[in-house]
Structure 1
Amino acid sequence: MSSVGLDAGPAAAVAAPALAAAGALTRGEPTLAEGVSWHAFGAPVEGRARFVVKSASAGNYIMTSALGVDILACLDGTRDIAGLCAHLSAQHGKPIPAARICAFLDTCLANGMIEADSWGNGEVVAADAGARREKLGIYSKVHNADRLLDLILEYRRLWLNPVTKGLAAALCLLGLVNFFLIPKGGGLIAPLKQMDMSYTDIFLLAVPMVFVIELALHELGHALACRLMGARPKGFGVGLLFGVLPIVFTETTDSYTIPSRAKRAFVSFAGPMVNLMSFGLVMSLYWMVDRDGLAAKLLLAYSALPLASFLVSMNPFYLRMDGYWILADWLERPNLRRDAMRYLKSFFKRAAPGTAPVQRDRKEKLTLSLYLLVAIAWTLTFVSYVTIEGLRTMYSIMQTFFAESFYL
């Protein structure tokens, strides 16, 4: 979601002749598009109220200040940029820079919030939908899934009732307990650890194919939670993370229209919750079967996939995935990582001459510091563990392979 700052600065409003010389007056009289709405988002930050603006037709969202909302409210098609400057300056009791208003209107035009023929030179640069996702892969377009979700929700009493809620809570608890009871040969590298150079290794090839179904259920969890909390997901898509790993994704940006931060955070947690339930179920079955049989081998190998998916998606830093959005929604800071990185850089880089350093209160400093500490520690621990365990397991497999070859 785009974030647009529009706080009026000390610069004087540009006079009408200057605007005409710059070509601003020839850009038309902007008119608000049909179906555009806005609402307050969370508590004010640094004393400034924040609002989410939604374009129902384009399905785009931006976050702006009270000034941005005031601009949108007076886009009735009767004022050009000079008229907007005069009106807003009188409304706020101080000059409003015309350049700031023009930049905001250009952003609104790109996101389908202004009638295309009422502003600009006729060329509309559409907002990049992919900019709302990480640029670390190849993604398809989003396909509408309203009919599928409507069908599933029609039978919600069958899968969303006190019994199923209790079962889901029990499976999540089992998943957390088994996280500390992982047996030898299990963990994040379990598929490799279960390879013993026998014919049973062939069955391990089916494990990733089964996991594709769980990936789909992970995203379905997000979409259903979004609908249950009162928002509408745009649909589903597929892609290749890092250009290699097949993934399924869902577009739930509409969750920003949910007033409750707890409900927004739950939409982000619904996907990892599916993985945690799956891990709890698989490990419970593992403890019930013969530990030396093929079933135990396959269950232990598969357990690594929901466990890895849970830990990766809950990572609050490296990728802006579920864990990041849970924190961002709970703290009501959509640009949490960007703010944290700027805060970190401020320790090592002096502010430019004539530029006042960003003022942060004690609570904000503590929040950003804790986020950086947890996020970086989580990422480094996960990457280090997978790398070390992977190398050890590969070395053990190679030893077994060469020992058997030599023996033969």
Structure 2
Amino acid sequence: MSGPGSGSMAVAPAAASALSFRPDLRVYPPRPDSGDSHYTIYDPASDLSYFLGANELMVARLFDGQRSLVDIMAHLESQHRRRIPLEKLAAFEKRLHQLDMLSVPGAVPDARVRDPAAGISYGPLKSLLIIPLLRMQPAALLDYVYERFGWLCSRAFVYSGLFAILAAIAVVVVRYGDFSGDVVAVYGNGIGWLACHYPVVVASIAVHELGHALACRLYRVRVTDFGIAIYLLMATGWARPLQGDWTALARRERMITIVMGPYASLLFSAAGVALWLVTVPGSPWHTLSVVMTASASLSLIPTLLPIFNGDTYLALTEYLRVPRLRQRAFQYVKETLWSRKHDESPTLGRRALYWITVVATSLGWLLAWALLLSLLARIFRL
């Protein structure tokens, strides 16, 4: 982005700045071995990251809602021996404000929830329907787990877990009649299973995201945000890596990190199968084992569907080498339909990819909503 020492803009010198550097922005210093000296500025509201040099960040933090531009210019000259023309300082302020890094102190933040991968604002709909259960900065937790249970990231554990998953699948196949009968007994008698369903699914999603996060920790990728929420009837979770650290990873390591989420979910389901084998049918523990296996496995489906912002979608963007594919696709199609100038000039193959992405995503969303409404109707009919 443009810094205070680059570019110029004819701006009338402002007497005062009513804007301040947002206190909720998270600032991550560059890694010593990265070769990049830029700081990452992470916005937890939009899940977007920006990059500033050390001097740019220092100037940005001088915007506190109290100093005028003249005050900031004088401070830089007296304290840092840096002479920045007022016009360039005003242009830098405008650029930071456009990126939403500056705000009016005390102003009510925008309540809209934006999907950063799709570039779509949900307005009040998602913000009213989503129920946040957990949101945290996980760095301290990940350090604690990694330092004491680092063997979870070892090859021996991963291969042992893979064997356990395959063994669990074999058990369900061999004893399909018994297991399917238990599934019908649990889910076919009213909605009492819901009391067990959501705690189990939330736990499985926490394990899923921990799989991603621990892989990030193994590869020294900082995780900016970790959370779990319920949107309508679906539980969802996220573990968001710091963008600069993520892009610096080798492609193979990024793919391994993506796969570790579904792997952890399947390991959770395998534990359910093991519990099913050793518990007495009809007991609460047996019911729990069925829900652990069935509900946790079903909750994995959305992240495997590329129409959602899950693991398969992320893996596709990595495989195709098109980051933020859905956002770019919707932007390109919108510009085409409205006969606007395109921000990029994609090749014929890339244009086809964009149209396929938009059409498939739109149809997938319609189908997903239809299935969800049908499920709601069945539940309430019971």
- CA–CA separation in structure 2 for the residues paired with 1:69 and 1:330: 31
Q: 1:110: which partner in 2?
A: 101
**Residue 252, structure 1, aligned to residue 243, structure 2:** no
Aligned position for 1:270: 260
Alignment deviations for residues 369-406 of structure 1 (CA, whole Å, 9 cap, x no partner):
45446545655666666777x599879x97xxxxxxxx
| Equivalent residue number for residue 48 of structure 1 | none
Normalising to structure 1: TM-score of the pair? 0.58
Tell me the equivalent position of 1:164: 157
Look up the match of 1:229.
219
User: Which has the larger Rg?
Assistant: 1
Cα displacement (A) at 1:160 = 3.2
Map residues 1-400 of structure 1 onto 2, 5 A cutoff.
Answer: 14-15=9-10, 18-20=11-13, 23=14, 27=17, 37=29, 53-55=39-41, 72=56, 77=76, 78-80=82-84, 82=86, 84=88, 101-106=92-97, 110=101, 123=105, 136=126, 137-139=130-132, 142-171=135-164, 194-197=186-189, 205-234=195-224, 236-242=226-232, 249=237, 251-258=239-246, 259-260=248-249, 262=251, 263-280=253-270, 282=272, 294=282, 299-318=289-308, 320-331=309-320, 333-346=322-335, 349-352=337-340, 355=341, 358-372=344-358, 375=361, 379=365, 390=375
Task: Label 1:183 to 1:164 Cα distance change in 2 as closer, same or farther (>3 A).
Answer: same
What is the distance in 2 between the residues matched to 1:373 and 1:56? 31
1:42 equivalent in structure 2: none
Q: Cα 1:274–1:232, aligned 2, differ >3 Å: closer, same or farther?
A: same
SS at the partner of 2:40? strand
- Identity between Structure 1 and Structure 2 (%): 16
Name the SS of the counterpart of 1:139 in structure 2: strand
| RMSD (Å) for aligned C-alpha atoms | 5.5
Q: CA deviation at 1:331?
A: 4.7
Partners of 1:6 and 1:104 within 8 A in 2: yes
Which sections of structure 2, spanning at least 5 residues, go unmatched? 32-36, 61-75, 77-81, 117-121
Q: CA deviation at 1:54?
A: 0.5
Secondary structure, aligned partner of 1:325: helix
Aligned residues: 335
Amino acid at match of 2:354: L
TM-score (norm 2): 0.61
CA–CA distance in structure 2, aligned partners of residues 54 and 19 of structure 1: 30
Cα separation, 2, equivalents of 1:52 and 1:332: 23
| Residues 178-200 of structure 1: CA deviation (Å, up to 9, x unaligned) | 9999968989xx966744549xx
SS at match of 2:161: helix
Q: Secondary structure at the match of 1:316?
A: coil
- CA gap of 1:166–1:251, structure 2 versus 1, over 3 A, is closer
Q: CA deviation at 1:344?
A: 3.4
Q: Is the 8 A contact 2:225 2:241 kept in 1?
A: no
Shift of 1:327: 3.5
Q: 2:169 & 2:360 partners in 1: Cα distance?
A: 19
Tell me the distance in 2 between the aligned counterparts of 1:379 and 1:57: 27
| CA distance in 1: counterparts of 2:295 and 2:366, whole angstroms | 19
Cα–Cα, structure 1 residues 313 and 256, in superposed 2: closer, same or farther, change >3 Å? farther
